[in-house]
Amino acid sequence: MTTITANLRYSKEHEWVLQLEGNRVRIGITDYAQNSLGDIVFVENPEVDDEVTANESMGTIESVKAVSELFSPVSGTVVSVNEDLEDAPETINEQPYDAGWLIEVELSNPEELAALLNEDGYKAFIDEGEE
């Protein structure tokens, strides 16, 4: 059973967004995504001060099954990167919504959050994909 958290927004590329203070957000991959990938062995995140653009590649995630692109659900400047993932990428499998977060971004266009799916919308989206 996939865990979906109510206080997050979701992209159709299976990233989640948590609004922090002001225009800052935290981004990670969903439980559905980590489950689909299998055991995660490496993550390549953007660096602090890099610009990310909504719906464009921001890095890669490698599992024992495949290498997949990570797509930014929002646009802005990277202000923090989860350095713990360098030594322990499997944290994403264990805690995708907590310690397994990827990056924090200062939004350049906060209106983009409205285009993301809420809990019910994301659940319907993944249910459609599993039919």
Average pLDDT over residues 28-52: 97
The predicted pLDDT at position 130 comes to 62
Domains and CATH numbers, the chain: 9-110 (2.40.50.100)
pLDDT tens-digit readout, 57-113:
999 999 999 999 999 999 999 999 999 999 999 999 999 999 999 999 999 999 999
pTM: 0.95
If DSSP states are collapsed to H, E and C, what string results for 74-125? Answer: CCEEEEEECCHHHHCCCHHHHCCCCCCCCEEEEECCHHHHHHCECHHHHHHH
Reported as a pLDDT band with limits 50, 70 and 90, residue 6 is: confident
Tokens of 14: 């299976």
